[in-house]
Amino acid sequence: MREIGIPHPRLPLPEPGRRDEPQAFLDWLAEAIPMVEQLGIREMRWEGESLVWELALAPNLNDKGTGFGGALTAQTTLLGWCWTTLWLRQRGYARDVVVAEASQRFLAPVTGDYRIACAPDQPQGPKGLAERLETRGRGRISLAQRLWCDDALCLEARGDYAVLPAE
């Protein structure tokens, strides 16, 4: 059980240049952020530069029987945090990441199980973040999240994620 005001221990960094094993990271995430177990995440995987979650709709229903906007918003925000954290970890950085700004645009109701993909908003985003980390010890990246239910794009989100300086 997590205690208020007590940070959760970090997961050990993967070997240099390697990515975290997705299920091990999700298991740690569920301990670090208790609500993660309730989000219906079935799978996490990388598809090139995109981090993708497959999710069940049932735990995220609203009163109308479709996807609850608050849950979907939390998922897009958390997926961006995961993208940034995993990108840093692959490069040997154990840093705190926070969402600095986020927005969502709901396009269609979510009526079945769905997937969310998160990738840099700009192709040069990761390179720019790496340069800022090297020169300033901190940085920011803008990420885009897209939620798909079958072939329908239901939600577009954007978020700026700040990487805080080393302690």
| Phi, psi of 54, rounded to the nearest 5 degrees | -100, 130
Read off the pTM: 0.96
Could you give all domains of the chain from N- to C-terminal order, each with its CATH number? 22-163 (3.10.129.10)
**pLDDT score of 167:** 80
What is the pLDDT averaged over residues 21-28? 94
pLDDT confidence bin for 16, thresholds 50/70/90:
confident
pLDDT digits (tens, 9 = 90+) for 45-89: 999 999 999 999 999 999 999 999 999 999 999 999 999 999 999
| Phi, psi of 45, rounded to the nearest 5 degrees | -155, 160
SS3 69: helix
Mean pLDDT of the chain: 96
- Crossing angle for the helix pair 69-90 and 22-32, to the nearest 10 degrees: 120
pLDDT digits (tens, 9 = 90+) for 83-133: 999 999 999 999 999 999 999 999 999 999 999 999 999 999 999 999 999
**pLDDT score of 41:** 97
